[in-house]
Each structure stands twice: as structure tokens, then as C-alpha cells.
Amino acid sequence: MGNLDEPASSSSLILSTAALPERDRLPVWREVFGQMMVRLDIEPANDTSFHAEGELLMLPGAACGSVAATPFRVSRTQKLIAGDEADMLFLVTADVPLHVAQNGREQVLDAGDAIFVRGGERSVIQSRDRARLTNISVPIDDLTPLLSTCLNPSMTVVSRQNDVLDLLLGYVRLLHARQKQHSGELGRLAAGHIRDLMAAMIGADPDDKTSTHECGGVRAARLRAIKVDVGRQLCDPGLSVEAIAMSHGISPRYVRKLFQEGQTTFSDFVLSMRLERSRQLLRTPAHAVCTIASIAHACGFNDLSYFNRTFRRRYGITPSEFRNGAP
């Protein structure tokens, strides 16, 4: 939850207490992860043996942590606050209920709900169960210009059913899953998207389902979520922009607009993914006994002639030539 020196590019750290003797797990985790990295005081919530593992992704202007731990109590003390150069805003969520207290106010979160916590104010977060916790932080000074009003989001609860929260968590998961570090420019862009999404949650009207005024970060995260969804449904010949739009609660016109902003169309993106998947299957030994027609059908093509034409147009050779080893 603490303030991190802004890196020139993104960096990711993976930590675990698994290799440590049991007596050293808590002291090392408190010192290395708690005091040095996230500036939190960490202690077990009961007498269970302490264990934790997690990943910390640091971007130029944002940080994202994902930690799995035995029952815990973390606190942000005045001493730790004084050591931070910038006031941060944190969004915290877990897969189990959390008890959160800050400045005399308390909230009990249901599993999956999220809460904003102000870094410059003392706070305590507790879990009675083994939990996987996600924490996303940005400097308040970077976030304030994005807000339409001077709201203090501290202790604001966000429902797990909130569409923007789902987009933000999905976007962060994709950043964690990326094996390569982001360059300085891409890291700043990703941090900007995170700030956009957090600002949208703070200022969003829960009854407003329109997408007309979504900022760049929300649009980018929504497009990523749609592309992931398309990848899951590629084998369905009935995949359509209307079905995707309905599942994401937006209009087909807005889905088309998102792809146009990326210099492509929904149809071209689906076709490209289906052709690429078919190309991979044609060279996979496990599918050597499958006919080209069955592979085409498994990738969502109903018409074998259309598949052959589009494959040759894209790769310069027919599917059978490619399968037989043509470069």
C-alpha cells in the first residue's frame, strides 16, 4: 500500500516465504515486503503459522500488488505515513471478507467488494481467513485532475458487481501475466489507464450504463476484456458483435467504435484470431490426424472454401501446403 519511488520503466517482484524457516517467515516478510516495499506493519491475525506469497508490479505512476496470505492484520501507522513523500490512494479487494478501519470509520467488505483507502491517514485491514488480496495504488495528486469534483474517496466501497471494477482487475491481471517488462512509455500508458479506471469508479453514477463519455483508460480496458472474451468464443460459429456487446452491457455500435480506434474492425479481428489459431493447430502434432475441415470448423469456420481462401490470402499458401511443411 505504500509509496514507491517511481521507476523509469515497469518492474515486477515475486516474493514468497515458502523457502524460509517458519520462525523467520514473519520477520522477513514484515521487513522486506512490509517496511521496505509497501510501508505497512504486518502481523498474523491469530496463532496460525504465517505464510505469504505475492507479486508486486511497479509502473511509472502506479503500483499493483497481488498477495496470498494466511489470516493477517496490516496497519498503516503515523510513522510509516511520515516516511512517504507522496499521499497515495489505494484500492483494496480480496476473495474473502475484509474488515477495514480508517479515522474512526469502519467497513466490513463482502468477498470481491473493493474499498478506497487514503494513504495519508492511519488505517487497519484485517482478514480472519486465508486470503488473496489485490492492492492498486496511485498518487492522489495524479488522480485529482481526473475527478470532476473534489471528492474524498476514502472508505468508499465499490461493489464486486461494478463494471469498471471488473475492467480494472482484468486489466491488472493482464499486466501481471505479461512476461516482459513494459518500457517507460508503455508503463506510463498503463499507469494512466489505471488512473482513468480508478477515477471512473470514484465519479461514476451507478445508474449510468452509457459508454459515451468513457475515458481512454476505461476504453482500453474494455477493449482488452472484449478481446479476451472473443478468444474464449472463437470456436463458436455464432460469435457476433451483437452477442459480445450484450455480454458486456454495451451497444454493438460502441464495440465497433472501440475496434476502429485500434485501426481494425471487429470482423477483421475475429478472422485474424481464427486464422492464427488454425495455423497453430495445423502444425500441432496432436492434431496431425485431424482433417483440415475439422480444424477449420474447430476455429469457427463454417465454410471450408472460405477458410481456404482467407488462409491463402493471409499466409500466401494453402492450409494443406502449410501442413505439409511449406515455409
The three cell numbers locating residue 280: 497453430
Please check whether residues 77 and 190 belong to one and the same domain: yes
Q: What are the pLDDT digits (tens) for 60-102?
A: 889 999 999 999 999 988 888 887 777 889 999 999 999 999 9
76 within domain boundaries: yes
Q: Across all residues in the chain, what is the average pLDDT? A: 85
Please check whether residues 22 and 163 belong to one and the same domain: yes
Please check whether residues 290 and 247 belong to one and the same domain: no
* DSSP state letters, 34-55: IIIII--EEEESSSSPP-EEEE
Please check whether residues 99 and 67 belong to one and the same domain: yes
Please check whether residues 187 and 90 belong to one and the same domain: yes
Q: What is the mean pLDDT of residues 161-184?
A: 81
Please check whether residues 21 and 156 belong to one and the same domain: yes
The three cell numbers locating residue 219: 476504453
60 within domain boundaries: yes
Please check whether residues 37 and 71 belong to one and the same domain: yes
Please check whether residues 111 and 260 belong to one and the same domain: no
94 within domain boundaries: yes
Q: What are the pLDDT digits (tens) for 135-172?
A: 999 998 888 877 766 567 889 899 998 888 998 999 89
Confidence band, pLDDT 50/70/90 cuts, at residue 189: confident
User: What CATH number corresponds to the domain at position 299?
Assistant: 1.10.10.60
Using CA atoms, how far residue 303 sits from 104, 261, 268, 293, 298, in Å, is 65, 30, 17, 9, 12
Q: What are the pLDDT digits (tens) for 218-263?
A: 788 888 889 888 988 888 878 899 989 888 888 888 889 889 887 8
Please check whether residues 186 and 49 belong to one and the same domain: yes
Query: Where among 204, 226, 244 does a domain terminate?
Result: 204
Query: Where among 204, 234, 252 does a domain terminate?
Result: 204
User: What CATH number corresponds to the domain at position 145?
Assistant: 2.60.120.10
Residue-range definition of the domain harbouring residue 286: 276-323
2 within domain boundaries: no
pLDDT of residue 205: 45
The whole-model pTM stands at: 0.67
Give the CA angle between residues 169, 170, 173 to the nearest 5°: 85
209 within domain boundaries: no
Specify the number of domains making up the chain. Answer: 3
Please check whether residues 164 and 305 belong to one and the same domain: no
Percentage of the chain modeled with pLDDT above 70: 89
Please check whether residues 111 and 141 belong to one and the same domain: yes
pLDDT of residue 263: 84
Please check whether residues 222 and 302 belong to one and the same domain: no
263-292: burial string, b at 16+ Cβ within 10 Å, e else: eeebeebbbebbbebbbebbeeeebeebeb
Sheet strands (E) in the chain = 11-16, 41-44, 52-59, 62-69, 72-76, 88-94, 98-102, 105-109, 114-118, 123-127, 131-139, 157-158
